[in-house]
Chains A and B, each alone.
Chain A
Amino acid sequence: MRMRRVASTAVVLLTAGLIAASGGTASGSASPITIGISLSLSGDFSADGQAYKQGYELWASDQNKKGGLLGHPIKLQILSDASSATQVVTNYNTLIGSDKDQLVFGPFSSLLTTPASSVVARYGYAFVEGAGGAPSVFANGLKNVFDVSVPVATNLEAFADYVASLPKSERPKTAAYPTVDDPFTQPQLPPAEKIMAAAGVKTVYSKTIPEEEVDYTATANAVAALKPDVVVLGATDVPTVSAFVHAFIQQHFDPKLFIATAGPDQGAAFIKAVGAGNENGLMVPNGWYGGSPKADSQAMVKEYVAKYGGTASEVNADIAEAYSVGQVVTQAVQATHGFDNAKIIAYLHSGVTLNSVQGPVKFDSVGENTALKATTFQWQAGVLNPVIPVGSPGTKKPTFPKPPWSS
């Protein structure tokens, strides 16, 4: 009798354990699945952090309309890290260690993804993210990090190839490479500089600006004084690019080409900062744009515009990056039939090609997306168009040299 009671207790406990291990899918109930996220809702990255929040929420809303994840309604638990590399670590400890969220998504920027990924790895969780594409994120050899966006080191290569491909008579002769001291920007410039130097484009300026700089006047004026044909600016945000644009206008300096690693992709916020018309001709590398012909992208943009207003061109690329994180995790959860993070990690490393609004996603051994290539975009008559690689489907002809400043 006693043996039978022990055996039946063991069966009950084993069943409960199996249900728990499978993430509750065997229950058939509609208990919510909580996804923990740390985002920069204030601080230096707050504009991007807020956009990411919109992107994640848009995905959760869409997915919930489709029945959630394996029938479980999705609940997002978003904590603000105030753009702090210390707070982001605390947040993921809270989300996983204390609150026991079943899944986590990544924060904004490589600067925060790097410290966060180590914490998340300690818990054995998959860490799918869209804004941690710098080599430093993957340098630790962690197996749980997966970046759905373009690896940043290759971001400017298509642009550099375009410059190098111009007929010698038209090809720019000099280039300046000022960059903010940030793991997102710094890896992008050397490969571009190497390609352009090999094509005979002489480097006249290559210096680093502190990340916390607020006054770019001296640096921008120093660049303007050298009158380079091309300016390749390593920037993480709108104010940096805006400061250079205003300084160049004040100094009556108009480069033939001006590309920034980030900033011009911020849609309406960018135009507002540089002044309407001055955005024309400016370039930015990215993996996505509001006018993307992909069906799921168009649906997302339509929904975003209906909810938040604006036009397709003004939709921030951060939205698509965050949305893509949700899409990739959805496919992994569906393929592994549960929320077991170990199985999700193994699945994402299996070489499978997944879909996202940004395009295909296929991870290499360190979690970089090898299937997505950067496109260079250019503001043309108030619309951010894909222009490079030249002749690719959907691209427009690059405006070269860029039009003069409008004011």
Chain B
Amino acid sequence: MSFDALVEAIIDGVLTGGVYALMAAGLSLIFGVMDIINIAQGAMVILGAYLSYVLSVHLGIDLFLGLLITVPAMFGLGVLLEWGFMRRLREADRTSMSILITYAFAIIIEGVLTLLFGTDYDELNAPYINSSVHILNFYLPDIYLFGFLMAVVLLGGLYVMFFRTKFGRGLRASLQNRTAADLIGVNVNRTRMLAVGIGVGVTGAGGMVYGATTAFNPDSGYDLISRLLAIVILGGMGSIGGAMASAVLLLIAADIVAVAWEPTWSILVFFAAILLVLSFRPQGLFGARAVRAQ
């Protein structure tokens, strides 16, 4: 592998890592706050892509501008799901039951999207999707640059909200100990509801960038979920910064394997990460223990 190819693989890994971080952050947040493993995360990414598609194709709204509509819409969906279903799961078996209930969400989302859009592939279009900037010897696709910048801004914003605001303190308190948080006056139900809403809202933004870089159909979410889980497990459930760092790390590793060795082995990086982290550091690189210590 030439030096240029190595640098190219690292650049690709960093830029696509940003897109994956956006898609995984919601999954991490929802688990961190509610101990819910959201199997529907991939389906929600695709739902976000279709919302952007509708705004772009039928109303002519720019993809990034359209996020002003899709992110609140996805936030509303998250709030509704938490209020309607997640909250009603018993604390004792919440995690295991959440797999079943979120799998049902995934099937419902896929079914509704199939009814509305059929099974043909769609892709988001905008002038900046095929354009790129030439820096040194490399072409950097504009859509990935914009997506990466948006990931930094959105995830940075979430980080500030968690660690510099009263809501964030309440959120972290309810994450550590629900009863204690209740006792000190935190409205745990409301906090959790908003957190799930935020998680699903951010997923909507990730869905837009995914749809702008990959052709998708209602079923495409299933291909994503294993990678997103690997990112969240490596980064640490509940850690937004961890999701960003692990997404970039895993994508760089996968891209180097694909370029230097064989693309067919690149998927192994994700599964190896799950295996190693669960064996040796179950809380992940920036897992819940570290988050709670901050």
Contact = CB atoms under 8 A, between A and B. Distances in A.
B263 A210 contact: yes
Interface residues of A, number: 43
A220 to B, nearest CB: 9
B114 interface: yes
A246 B114 contact: no
A50 B119 CA distance: 7
Interface string B209-250: 000011111111011100100000000000000000000000
A219 B130 contact: no
B93 interface: no
Given A50-B119, A269-B121, A272-B123, A178 B215 contact: no
A331 to B, nearest CB: 31
B264 A214 contact: no
Interface string A265-288: 010110011010000000000000
Contacts of A251: 132, 139
B258 interface: yes
Nearest to A226: B5
B82 interface: no
A297 interface: no
B129 interface: yes
Contacts of A222: 5, 8-9, 258-259
A249 B5 contact: no
B121 A47 contact: yes
Contacts of B131: 250
Nearest to A405: B130
Contacts of A407: 127, 130
Contacts of B265: 210
Contact of B130 (A42, A47, A221, A246): A246
A218 B12 contact: yes
B215 A239 contact: yes
B13 interface: yes
Contacts of A215: 16, 214, 251
B262 A250 contact: no
A237 B129 CA distance: 21
Given A42-B119, A238-B121, A273-B123, A218 B130 contact: no
A217 B12 contact: yes
Contacts of B8: 221-222, 225
Contacts of A239: 121, 214-216, 220
B264 A209 contact: yes
Interface string A217-255: 111011001000000000001110011001101111000
A214 B223 CA distance: 7
Interface string B1-34: 0001100110011001000000000000000000
B215 A273 contact: yes
Interface string B139-175: 1010010000000000000000000000000000000
Given A221-B8, A222-B258, A239-B215, A252 B263 contact: no
Contacts of B110: 42
A125 to B, nearest CB: 28
Contacts of A275: 123, 125, 130
Interface string A34-55: 0000000111101101100000
A246 B262 contact: no
Q: 4 closest A-B pairs (Cβ-Cβ)?
A: A218-B255, A239-B215, A46-B119, A250-B141
Interface of B: 4-5, 8-9, 12-13, 16, 110, 114, 118-123, 125, 127, 129-132, 139, 141, 144, 213-220, 222-224, 227, 251, 254-255, 258-259, 262-267
8 contacts: A50-B118, A178-B263, A221-B8, A222-B8, A239-B216, A242-B121, A272-B123, A407-B130
Given A47-B119, A269-B120, 9 more contacts: A41-B119, A210-B263, A214-B223, A222-B9, A239-B215, A239-B216, A242-B215, A272-B120, A273-B121
